[in-house]
Structure formats: structure tokens, C-alpha cells
Amino acid sequence: MINVTVANFEAEVIEASMHTPVLVDFWATWCGPCKVIGPILEKIEAEYGGRFKLVKIDSDQEQQLAAAFGIRSIPTCVLLIGGQPVDGFMGALPEGQIKAFLDKHLPSEDELAALAEADEAQQMLAQGGEGEAADPASALEKLARAVEQAPDNDDLRFELVRQCISHGLFEQAAGALAPAMARIPVPLRFDALSQWLNALEFVGTDPRGQWPLEKFDELIGQNKRDFETRFAKSRVLIAMGEWPAALEELLEIIMRDKKWDDEAPRKTYVGLLELMTPPKPKADPAAAGKSAGGIELAGKAAVQEDPQAQLVSQYRRKLSMALN
């Protein structure tokens, strides 16, 4: 348990919650119920063995923090994950209700073990040619075990499928992808992986996958509406890693026939955009002028859009224009 003030709020609450959920207990020395719930929270923190971090804020001494969270009565507990408040409760709840509250949001022990295994796998893959990462099979095995331990964790499953595709393990990728593709509706990012995998499998199994680009261009030059050839060319471009060029080819089909082949070009286009979209950066308090918890900070910094994000935005606009 840590006592938090404005001085250490960013480090102990916002930054810490990027890695471990943080439960903030707003209390005061004169508050009788606060004295009841305080020891219960500390006991639960010890029992949960690192699944969350407990901090305490004296609402009388730290009125700016209390106001930022809209505290109207105490005790009030607020849970932060990823720099943002996600839930909370007021009053001195009994131990069982507090645990039920936490269990709704905290990763289970199995999931924590899975995340640790996934972190090891990512480190091995990031090392390139060093040590175990010289053969990515061991890292991918770790990642697969992590998914087995936490089958409902979409982030782990997505990363496993992505890495399998990147390393040419298409059969393993398809197997890991199957549970996500069985959902209704299929989550967009998994459909995106499926489009990527389909393109790579096409190149490996269809004779057109070995054609030079000039042959595609010759046939398309003879018939601008040869959508089969255009679509095949887009898949070859995807396999080559030339995704913007693939988007342009898909766009040519969409502009001429939005419904062709059950909208396969549009679905592939949207899937590529999803895969090209850079991950959202962690909140930069200085850039926004506030902390993620809503505390005013001195100074603001101009935010520049990532070039990759700009490219994705450009192609989203092109698709919108083609569809309207």
C-alpha cells in the first residue's frame, strides 16, 4: 500500500496502471468507515499477490485529486487500468463484495501466467538471431502455450496468429485463427488476419501466384474490368509486402463494381487497413495538458500524427469516396 499525493500521482497511479491495475482508496482521518475498509483492502492486496496495486489518497490533504475524480463521499475506491478509471464503489463494502468487484476486472492467475509466458516469447522474437530466437519455433511454442492458458485473451491470440503468418507457419496460423473466425460477428482484426493469410496461401497454391506483375498488367490493360486478374494481382502484392499498391488495385475493383465476388475486394481492403493501422500510443499527459486521471499539468505539446497513421487515413478516405 502506498500513500499518494499530487507529487507522485503520475508515477504511482497513472504510469503504474499501464502495467498493473491500481485501486485508489480515497479516505480521511476522521472517517470511521474508512478505518474499517482500509485493513480489508490491505489484506486483499496481500492475498491477490500482485494482481493489483493498492494506493491511498487522503481526500482532505489532496483536494485537487479528490476533485479530479469527482469524489463526493468517502470511502470511495476507484480502479484504474491503462491510465483510465474503469470502475469504482462507495462505502465500506464487506470483503466478499470487494473481491467480487475486483475479480470482474483483474486478470486471473492463469491469465497472468499466460501474459508472462507471452512476454518471454516476445522478448525472444525481438532478439533476432540471438540465443533461442535464432529458431523462432521455441518462442512461438511459448506464445501458443500462453493462448492455451488464456484462450479468451484476444490480444494473445492475435499476436500468435500474426507471428505464425509472419514466419510462414500457415497451418498453425489457421488453427489458432479458427476459434475467432467462428464468432458472429467475426472481430475485424481477426478477419484482417484471415485476409492476409488467404493472400499468402493463394500465392503458394495458385499458378497466378508466380506470375510477374507485368503479366497481370498486360491482361488488365486489355480489359479494365478483368476483376479476377486484378484481385489476383492484389494478393500477390500483399504477399510481396506492397500493401499500398495492393490497396490501389483493390480500389480499382471497388470503384467499378462494389458488390463483385460478395464484396471480397472491399473486405480485403478493410482488412489491410486494419493491419496497417499503428497501435494507439500510450497516453502522453504533456501532449494533452492533463494526466490520464484528469489532473491539470503545466504546458502542452503539439501532437503530430504518425506517418503510417496518415497513410491509413488517406486510404480510408479513398474507400469512403469509392463507396459513396
* CA 235 – CA 208 distance, rounded (Å): 10
Is-above-0.75 flag for pTM? no
Does residue 100 share a domain with residue 212? no
Which of 22, 31, 106, 125 is an active site residue? 31
Is residue 232 assigned to a domain?
yes
Q: Using the 3D structure, point to which of 53, 75, 106 is the last residue of a domain.
A: 106
34 as an active site residue: the answer is yes
User: Is residue 169 very low, low, confident or very high in pLDDT (cuts 50, 70, 90)?
Assistant: very high
State the chain's mean pLDDT as an integer.
88
Single residue among 106, 137, 164 that ends a domain in this structure? 106
**150 pLDDT more than 70:** yes
* Per-residue pLDDT at 116: 76
Q: Is 31 a catalytic residue?
A: yes
User: What's the CATH number where 228 sits?
Assistant: 1.25.40.10
Q: Catalytic one among 34, 65, 140, 251?
A: 34
The residue to which cell 500465392 is assigned = 203
Predicted pLDDT at 128: 60
Q: Of 63, 87, 106, which closes a domain?
A: 106
Burial class (CB in 10 A: 0-12, 13-18, 19+), 318: middle
What's the pLDDT score for residue 110?
77
Confidence at 36, pLDDT banded by 50, 70, 90 = very high
Give the pLDDT confidence of 88-105 residue by residue, as tens digits: 999 999 999 999 999 998
The C-alpha cell of 57 is what? 489518497
List C-alpha distances in Å: 196 to 236, 259, 269, 278.
Answer: 11, 20, 10, 16
Q: Is the dihedral of CA 179, 181, 182, 188 positive or negative?
A: positive
> Is residue 153 situated within a structural domain?
no
Q: Would you state the pLDDT for residue 288?
A: 41
Examine residue 285 and state whether it is found in any structural domain, yes or no.
Answer: yes
Q: Is 101 found in the same domain as 213?
A: no
In this prediction, residues 74-97 reach a mean pLDDT of: 94
Q: Please say if the pLDDT value at position 28 is more than 90.
A: yes
How is the beta sheet containing 22-27 ordered, strand by strand?
2-3, 53-58, 22-27, 76-81, 84-90
CATH number at residue 8: 3.40.30.10
Range of the domain at 310: 208-324
Helix, strand or coil, per DSSP, at residue 90: strand
Instruction: Please state the domain count of the chain.
Output: 2
pLDDT (tens digit, 9 = 90+) per residue, 266-315?
A: 999 999 999 999 886 554 444 444 444 444 433 334 445 689 999 999 99
pLDDT band for 56, please (50, 70, 90 cuts): very high
Distance, in Å, from the CA atom of 321 to the CA atom of 299, rounded to the nearest integer, reads: 39
At 134 the pLDDT is 53
Going by the DSSP 8-state scheme, the letter that residue 210 receives in this structure is G
Residue 300 counted as domain residue: yes
Task: Specify the pLDDT at position 136.
Answer: 83
